Structures are given as C-alpha cells and as structure tokens.
Amino acid sequence: MKNFSYVITDPQGIHARPAGLLVKAASTFESKITLIKAGKDVDAKKIIAVMSLGAKKGEEVTVTAEGSDEDTAIDALKKFFQENL
C-alpha cells in the first residue's frame, strides 16, 4: 500500500468539479483508491463518497492506493492534487 497526504489549497475545497475529475482519474487504476479525512475513509472512485468528506481549504486528506498499479496511481493522483486542489 502506498499513500500521501495533501493539504487542500483550493478556496472552495473539494467541490463538484474537482471531485468529478478526481473520480475519473482514480477510476483509471485497478488499485483500490481511498481518501481519508479526520478518520473517515471513502472510495475515491465514487463521487458521492468523495463529496461526503466535505474537505475544505486548509484541511488535510490522505490518499491511499493498494493494488497492482499502486505506484503509478499514487504518482498520478499526487500530481492531480497539486494541479487541481
């Protein structure tokens, strides 16, 4: 399992548009992708789950990937977060 933590910098947090893009990006990998915030973990491939975290600017989320392509998934998602959130 691989993971990284990221502090949200987008003024609106993880709102609908980036949540949709995140789900789309996560869904391209076979690995199980999970988002964790304040002890709550959700499937990053489901938009309702991602939105339910309510991650706001300044809050930290942890992204985990577990599976055959976890290295590639973590690298791609880290880049996604830096560019979009």
Tokens at 83, concatenated: 């560019």
Quick check: 19 and 49 in contact, CB under 8 A?
no
Q: Please write the tens of the pLDDT for every residue from 12-70.
A: 999 999 999 999 999 999 999 999 999 999 999 999 999 999 999 999 999 999 999 99
Under 8 Å CB-to-CB from 23, ≥6 apart: which residues?
Answer: 44, 45, 46, 47, 50
- Overall domain count for the chain: 1
CATH number, domain with residue 12: 3.30.1340.10
* 15 classed as catalytic: yes
Per-residue pLDDT at 26? 97
Per-residue pLDDT at 74? 97
Q: List, in sequence order, every beta strand (DSSP E) within 22-66.
A: 32-37, 40-43, 60-66
Domain of residue 76 covers 2-84
Per-residue pLDDT at 49? 96
Rounded Cα distance, 50 and 38, in Å: 13
Among 3, 4, 10, 15, the active-site one is 15
